[in-house]
A and B are shown apart, each in its own frame.
Chain A
């Protein structure tokens, strides 16, 4: 609540600064906006930015740093003796925080007097029962060290919040004054505002990049933890995937090869379906279809891309699987055991990928300059010769990029595999066998009661990391191909 208020106050100062800045610069220019360097709104914006940005940044930093400092000082208050044997300092600290929150709430509700909340000699039992009455979540009896730590935590936090409010408001006012001082007709307010806009854009770009880094790091630490518990050579070269959930360690085989093989096999089947169909559809749409057909057919094709993958999964499970079984199963050729198989998931995934390949390729083929086609027609080439020998080679880098993008999708696809390919991890060449992929196994290892200290759960992060590295390599390769051949025409 105080933070929201603080934010509103700073915004208020910024808005007031905006109008004050406008008024001041108008006065300094003698009421004629043609005498100013920038448009009046830039002067107002300059004041508002100088008031709000430093103050809000300070607030952000303070909010991040204060809990760390308070935690450290509170942690020092807890003697080692107060920590249970099968507990840890972190658990005790969260107990302290819960107790402090409870005290805050109890005081706010009026069920506890502020003096009692702050009294270091207060009886822990009484405080506990009062807190429970007030509806605070206190797991066990509060001991004296915890109570004292909670009281200290509460006081320090309150003091910190007060200091923060003061500092932020003062900084906002100082910023506004600084901005107002500059609100003179010859001040280059526009440059200041545009620099601020640039910073905002840089910030947005950095957030995207830093998030990627964060995701990688979160995977890396768990992966390292996994390899501490399970030998890396067994993981990368093991041909058996048999995690056990009953006993810890030793009894599980966690070889990644069957999963990688399943991923690879299903992706290959999917691409074998998607590339020819998608490419031919793209060639038809961009070279042969009349404008009317194109206007209708392209959006229809792109509808495929909008279907959630779980729906494709259902389609695989309920329609394609039984259909394949009726042809290849016991009543037909007898080579297919059940509806869930590589071929089922691969076919359905291929259908899912068609719009990726066709839509991107269509755009790329359209981008081939008409002059190139004219040159070919001018030499007496037919339409299909022109497409095969001039248009497609010119569009090839882009098409390869589209295909690699589709491959990344195929490798990362989960739901179709879960429902369409079965759950058995095995190394087999038969496309009518059930197999499973890396992604499907990540799901099954982390759902249910996962103990994050066991290799059976941590292996999910190692799998995720492996997958991440593979798709990253594919994307880098795609970019390289596209870059290398991009300047071929134009």
Chain B
């Protein structure tokens, strides 16, 4: 359990990155998220677990305001990143999303070359001074996405031609290329086979050195493997939040225990 060892070290230098207070989300008349309070630490992997439809993905999408693209969605409450309210009028959701990257459930590479996929974010945010700079950024991102060796000879090939696992790592590389501070992952391994999953999990562990990672997962083994903190959602409520090994060994709430032992879900 080396992960837990590191986690204990970092608890000492606890540093709150994202703080949510009394968050409510409504889809039309449906009350999807109820009174969620959570504090997510920097340079930590936080896992959101819970049965389907419990609101974990919805809450994840609140953190970078992706829910803005859904017309009927309404968010109430207070979410702060580094103390700044992200639902404040002054905040531009476009800039927020550059700071809070996101990886989706299904790999969604753009219909462009591998290079252009990764260079997309740096280009629109003007992160590179020149072509050589951009090349460096792309290479670094692909290396961090653990896919550089597989694609370095065919950067001009379309990103859609890669296998599912490679596509997902490409999407992760694309997300880290914009140097976000927080990386949100919405079931990043649900479409992948066990080998690709292992690669992505390894990658998540490395990403923790630089970012705060929030991952939604249906696999409790995955949550136990990759995360230091775990939040259990049920029917729109945040039932329990704490250190991962505590949640999985001695949960306080009976609902959490029922879920992780497979009695509800």
Which A residues have a C-beta under 8 Å from some C-beta of B? 369, 371-382, 385, 389-390, 393-394, 487-489
Chain A to chain B contacts (Cβ below 8 Å), 22 pairs:
A371-B106, A372-B110, A374-B69, A374-B104, A374-B108, A377-B66, A378-B101, A378-B175, A379-B97, A379-B101, A379-B174, A379-B178, A380-B94, A380-B99, A380-B178, A382-B94, A385-B124, A389-B124, A393-B112, A394-B110, A487-B160, A488-B158
B194 within 8 A of A: no
* Interface size bracket, B side: 20 to 34
B97 touches A389 (CB 8 A): no
Q: Give chain B nearest CB distance to A383 CB in angstroms.
A: 9
B102 within 8 A of A: yes
Question: Please, how many angstroms separate the alpha-carbon atoms of A376 and B98 in the complex?
Answer: 10
B108 touches A379 (CB 8 A): no
B121 within 8 A of A: yes
Choose among B94, B108, B112, B171 the residue that contacts A381 (Cβ–Cβ < 8 A).
Answer: B94
B95 within 8 A of A: yes
Choose among B64, B69, B97, B108 the residue that contacts A369 (Cβ–Cβ < 8 A).
Answer: B108
Question: Please, how many angstroms separate the alpha-carbon atoms of A381 and B99 in the complex?
Answer: 12
Q: Give chain A nearest CB distance to B145 CB in angstroms.
A: 14
Instruction: Give the residue among A377, A378, A489 with the most B Cβ atoms within 10 A.
Output: A378
Q: Cβ of B94: which chain A residues have Cβ within 8 Å of it?
A: 380-382
What are the 6 closest A-B residue pairs judged by CB atoms, nearest first? A380-B98, A378-B102, A488-B111, A371-B108, A380-B97, A379-B121
Chain B residue at smallest Cβ distance from A370:
B69
B69 touches A373 (CB 8 A): yes
A375 touches B171 (CB 8 A): yes
Instruction: Give the residue among B69, B124, B158, B174 with the most A Cβ atoms within 10 A.
Output: B124
Q: Cβ of A381: which chain B residues have Cβ within 8 Å of it?
A: 94, 120-121, 124
Question: Please, how many angstroms separate the alpha-carbon atoms of A415 and B182 in the complex?
Answer: 62
Chain A residue at smallest Cβ distance from B106:
A371
Question: Please, how many angstroms separate the alpha-carbon atoms of A369 and B160 in the complex?
Answer: 13
Q: Cβ of B121: which chain A residues have Cβ within 8 Å of it?
A: 379-381
Chain B residue at smallest Cβ distance from A375:
B108
B120 touches A378 (CB 8 A): no
Q: Cβ of B101: which chain A residues have Cβ within 8 Å of it?
A: 378-379
The digit string for B77-103, where 1 denotes a CB below 8 A from any CB of A, is 000000000000000001111110111
Question: Please, how many angstroms separate the alpha-carbon atoms of A381 and B174 in the complex?
Answer: 13
Chain A residue at smallest Cβ distance from B95:
A380
Which B residues have a C-beta under 8 Å from some C-beta of A? 64, 66, 69, 94-99, 101-104, 106, 108-112, 120-121, 124-125, 158, 160, 171, 174-175, 178
B106 touches A380 (CB 8 A): no
Choose among A375, A378, A389, A390 the residue that contacts B64 (Cβ–Cβ < 8 A).
Answer: A378
Question: Please, how many angstroms separate the alpha-carbon atoms of A369 and B104 in the complex?
Answer: 13
Q: Give chain A nearest CB distance to B250 CB in angstroms.
A: 36
Q: Give chain B nearest CB distance to A217 CB in angstroms.
A: 42
Question: Please, how many angstroms separate the alpha-carbon atoms of A393 and B109 in the complex?
Answer: 13
Chain B residue at smallest Cβ distance from A489:
B111
Q: Cβ of A487: which chain B residues have Cβ within 8 Å of it?
A: 160
Q: Cβ of B171: which chain A residues have Cβ within 8 Å of it?
A: 375
Question: Please, how many angstroms separate the alpha-carbon atoms of A394 and B104 in the complex?
Answer: 19
Given contacts A380-B124, A380-B178, A489-B160, contact A375 B97 (CB under 8 A): no
Chain A residue at smallest Cβ distance from B159:
A488
Question: Please, how many angstroms separate the alpha-carbon atoms of A385 and B178 in the complex?
Answer: 15
Q: Cβ of B96: which chain A residues have Cβ within 8 Å of it?
A: 380
Given contacts A378-B97, A379-B178, contact A488 B104 (CB under 8 A): no
Q: Give chain B nearest CB distance to A29 CB in angstroms.
A: 49
A488 touches B69 (CB 8 A): no
Question: Please, how many angstroms separate the alpha-carbon atoms of A376 and B120 in the complex?
Answer: 9
Question: Please, how many angstroms separate the alpha-carbon atoms of A161 and B95 in the complex?
Answer: 85
Q: Cβ of A488: which chain B residues have Cβ within 8 Å of it?
A: 111, 158, 160
Given contacts A385-B124, A389-B124, A488-B158, contact A379 B106 (CB under 8 A): no
Q: Cβ of A390: which chain B residues have Cβ within 8 Å of it?
A: 110, 120
Q: Cβ of A389: which chain B residues have Cβ within 8 Å of it?
A: 110, 120, 124
Question: Please, how many angstroms separate the alpha-carbon atoms of A369 and B97 in the complex?
Answer: 20
Given contacts A380-B94, A382-B94, A488-B160, contact A374 B110 (CB under 8 A): no
Question: Please, how many angstroms separate the alpha-carbon atoms of A380 and B97 in the complex?
Answer: 4
Q: Cβ of A372: which chain B residues have Cβ within 8 Å of it?
A: 108, 110-111
Question: Please, how many angstroms separate the alpha-carbon atoms of A380 and B64 in the complex?
Answer: 9
Q: Cβ of A393: which chain B residues have Cβ within 8 Å of it?
A: 110-112
Question: Please, how many angstroms separate the alpha-carbon atoms of A385 and B121 in the complex?
Answer: 11
Q: Cβ of A371: which chain B residues have Cβ within 8 Å of it?
A: 104, 106, 108
Question: Please, how many angstroms separate the alpha-carbon atoms of A487 and B158 in the complex?
Answer: 11
A375 touches B66 (CB 8 A): no
B97 touches A377 (CB 8 A): yes
Q: Give chain A nearest CB distance to B54 CB in angstroms.
A: 21
Question: Please, how many angstroms separate the alpha-carbon atoms of A489 and B98 in the complex?
Answer: 24
Q: Give chain B nearest CB distance to A373 CB in angstroms.
A: 7
Question: Please, how many angstroms separate the alpha-carbon atoms of A373 and B1 in the complex?
Answer: 39
Question: Please, how many angstroms separate the alpha-carbon atoms of A488 and B112 in the complex?
Answer: 9
Given contacts A380-B178, A393-B111, contact A375 B98 (CB under 8 A): no
Question: Please, how many angstroms separate the alpha-carbon atoms of A377 and B160 in the complex?
Answer: 19
Chain A residue at smallest Cβ distance from B178:
A379
Q: Cβ of B103: which chain A residues have Cβ within 8 Å of it?
A: 378
A380 touches B108 (CB 8 A): no
Choose among B66, B111, B178 the residue that contacts A394 (Cβ–Cβ < 8 A).
Answer: B111
Question: Please, how many angstroms separate the alpha-carbon atoms of A390 and B98 in the complex?
Answer: 17
B110 touches A375 (CB 8 A): yes
Question: Please, how many angstroms separate the alpha-carbon atoms of A372 and B174 in the complex?
Answer: 13
Q: Give chain B nearest CB distance to A295 CB in angstroms.
A: 14
Q: Cβ of B160: which chain A residues have Cβ within 8 Å of it?
A: 487-489
Chain A residue at smallest Cβ distance from B174:
A379
Question: Please, how many angstroms separate the alpha-carbon atoms of A409 and B113 in the complex?
Answer: 34
Q: Give chain B nearest CB distance to A489 CB in angstroms.
A: 5
Instruction: Give the residue among A381, A389, A487 with the most B Cβ atoms within 10 A.
Output: A381
Given contact pairs A372-B108, A379-B174, A381-B124, a sample of 8 additional A-B residue pairs in the complex whose CB atoms are under 8 Å apart: A375-B108, A375-B109, A378-B97, A378-B104, A378-B175, A379-B97, A379-B121, A389-B120
Given contacts A382-B94, A489-B160, contact A376 B110 (CB under 8 A): yes
Chain A residue at smallest Cβ distance from B64:
A378
Question: Please, how many angstroms separate the alpha-carbon atoms of A378 and B109 in the complex?
Answer: 12
Choose among A369, A374, A379, A489 the residue that contacts B124 (Cβ–Cβ < 8 A).
Answer: A379
Q: Cβ of B95: which chain A residues have Cβ within 8 Å of it?
A: 380
Choose among B99, B104, B178 the residue that contacts A375 (Cβ–Cβ < 8 A).
Answer: B104
Question: Please, how many angstroms separate the alpha-carbon atoms of A376 and B104 in the complex?
Answer: 11
Q: Cβ of A382: which chain B residues have Cβ within 8 Å of it?
A: 94, 124
Q: Cβ of A378: which chain B residues have Cβ within 8 Å of it?
A: 64, 66, 97, 101-104, 175
Chain B residue at smallest Cβ distance from A396:
B111
Instruction: Give the residue among A373, A380, A389, A488 with the most B Cβ atoms within 10 A.
Output: A380
